[in-house]
Amino acid sequence: MIDRAMVRHLADAARIDLAVEEVDRIADQLTDILDELGVVRALGEADGAATVDTVRSDTMHEVEPPMQPLRADVPGADALIGTAARFAPEVRDGFFTVPLLPSHGGDPA
Amino acid sequence: MSARLARLAARVASGEITAEKRIRGTFDRLMTGESGPDRVNAFISFDYDTTVAQAKRVDADPSLRTGVLAGVPIAVKDNICTIDSPTTCAARIMANYRSPYDATVVRRLRAAGAVIMGKTNMDEFALGSSTEHSAFGATRNPRNLEHVPGGSSGGSAAAVAAGFAEASLGTETSGSVRQPASFCGVVGVRPTYGRVSRYGVIAFASTLDQVGPMAQNVEDAALMLQVIAGPDAYDATTVDMEVPDFCAHIGDGLSGLVVGIPREYQPEGMDPAVARSFAEAIGVMRARGATIRDVSLPHTDLALPTYHAIASTELSSNLARFDGVRFGARVDAATPSGMQALTRGRGFGAETKRRILMGTYILSHDPALLAGAARGRALVTQDFLDVFAAGIDVLFTPTTHAPAFKLGAQLEPYEMYMSDVLTVSAALAGIPAISIPIGASHGLPIGGQFMAAKWAEPLMFRAAAGLESALL
């Protein structure tokens, strides 16, 4: 059960401003969705570590050949820096500069 | 019907037609189809001058003019970065974003002589199954404008179905290429995880996202994958192995193939027309010499809830970069955190906010769900390893349990998520899969799906092309 206070707490953590009616709607929807995921939570609560091998079935990593390529360990220029200098409105020391926030002396939009 | 792209490119290479002339013709069709009350709304952005300039470059450069996709019009989903047009992810927060570089897949298409026609509509940040959750309005299904094209790559599927492009790129997290391909009656491919670079593709769920081609037939889709596949120094998840010739055995037919039919993929509530087309396709494969075997993937029920636990947590992390400072729009406030909250509150759509908050909840309050998802994923993956180890060449299933639903059907969130129930397992396991048209019901296409072991795309294309030609 996700209540309104929890939704407001999550929105604060995720830095998302929500209207009152959004808080109500999302609380109901998250409660429903998380109910549907109960079967997976039960799997996590069970003592499954001994029976489920989460390493052998890892879909992301090729631990045997073929493997992910590793670049040569030699320092070099960041390939994006030249592009950034050509593209960004303003570049300083190889970095994009961004508009100042009003709280830091920038002009409010 | 097959190898259409290769023929189109050969005509440009031989000088029979210029790329510019072809692209102008396709662009006229696009302009007509994208205007007026019956518009499909497949594209978020397209620009005549930018497109014609690309075609002129192809005509002027001998290496491009003889490329395998010379002068072929291609549409690209709007979460894939292009240097000469906006990249919005169909999100208000990204409405004015322009990438300083081309995604690797786009760079490879251009190097093969392809011309990018424009950027296609999608569900915001690829979150959805209908292309209705777009800040730029819904896309309609060209086969029946009252129905959705599927999603999230609905614009890419609709563009191919409507003839606004010969082929397109979509992206998949749980089925966002195959499901819209099925709804629009085109071919859609999910490659093996690690086959295709995601450099320049705006991330949703990084352990699942893949770029996949959509085309009018299997051989064209294979050719598209041939062009975009292979290791990339800019994406450490691409695997350093030689890319096989996906078309070498594409015409070898069905005889001798062992096709597994997973019994868990015929869920209750399946549309009778889908069940009928599926059964007919199995009969056709048997008649063409394939061995049909009943198989079981016993943990299939875990796939969809497992996926949602994993995808929402990865999404909440990936979308943290949209903070009002580095990318896209900003809504100012008195404090930096207030600025971030207002920017994200107004810039994200309802589905995006819902899923970020779900991911935030799971990461901060529900460790059992996170642990269960890792185990669920391992069990689903092991099911596939077991059937392929037992001698099954490919698995065959319906792509979706029903044809395209109506626009505005207003499904509850989890009902919408059910659209991916037959495609999500392949995504979790990182295996390749393809959807091809196998029938129709009241003018709405029905799709069938082949899945194969990791890196076994050649076998997958052979099976799909074999059924495609048998159904013609």
Least confident of A76-80, B341-345, B456-460, B467-471: A76-80
Q: Is B174 a catalytic residue?
A: no
To the nearest 5 percent, what fractions of chain B are helix, strand and coil?
Answer: 45, 15, 40
Least confident of B113-122, B127-136, B248-257, B319-328: B319-328
Neighbours of B426 (CB within 10 A): 28
Interval B71-88: pLDDT, tens: 999 999 999 999 999 999
pLDDT in tens, chain A (109 residues): 899 999 999 999 999 999 999 999 999 999 999 999 999 999 998 875 556 777 666 666 665 566 666 667 888 776 666 666 666 778 888 777 887 887 787 776 5
Neighbours of B152 (CB within 10 A): 34
The two tokens of residue B167 are 């082929």
Average pLDDT of chain B, as a whole number: 95
Q: Where are the alpha helices (DSSP H) in chain A?
A: 4-13, 20-36, 38-45, 79-87
Binned at pLDDT 50, 70 and 90, residue B1 comes out as: very low
Mean pLDDT of B184-202: 97
In contact, B218 and B251? CB cutoff 8 Å = no
Mean pLDDT of B5-16: 97
Check pLDDT > 90 for residue B429.
yes
Catalytic residue among B77, B277, B312, B316: B77
Nearest to A52 among B237, B330, B379 (CB): B379
pTM metric for this prediction: 0.95
Please indicate whether, in this complex, the C-beta atoms of A16 and B382 are within 8 angstroms of each other.
no
Q: Which residues of A touch B326 (CB under 8 A)?
A: 96, 98
Pick from A7, A8, A15 the residue to mutate for testing the B interface (most B CBs within 10 Å): A15
How many CA atoms, within 13 angstroms, populate the side-chain half-sphere of residue B91? 30
Mean pLDDT of B178-195: 97
Buried b (16+ CB within 10 A) or exposed e, B355-380: bbbbbbbbbeebeebbbbbbbbbbbb
pLDDT at B326: 79
Please indicate whether, in this complex, the C-beta atoms of A109 and B330 are within 8 angstroms of each other.
yes
pLDDT at A64: 59
Please indicate whether, in this complex, the C-beta atoms of A26 and B353 are within 8 angstroms of each other.
yes
| Residue % of chain B over a pLDDT of 70 | 100
Judge whether A98 is closer than 8 Å to chain B, CB to CB. yes
Task: Chain B: give the shortest CA distance to residue A20, in Å.
Answer: 12
B449: β partners: B397, B435
Check pLDDT > 80 for residue B428.
yes
Q: Is B168 a catalytic residue?
A: no
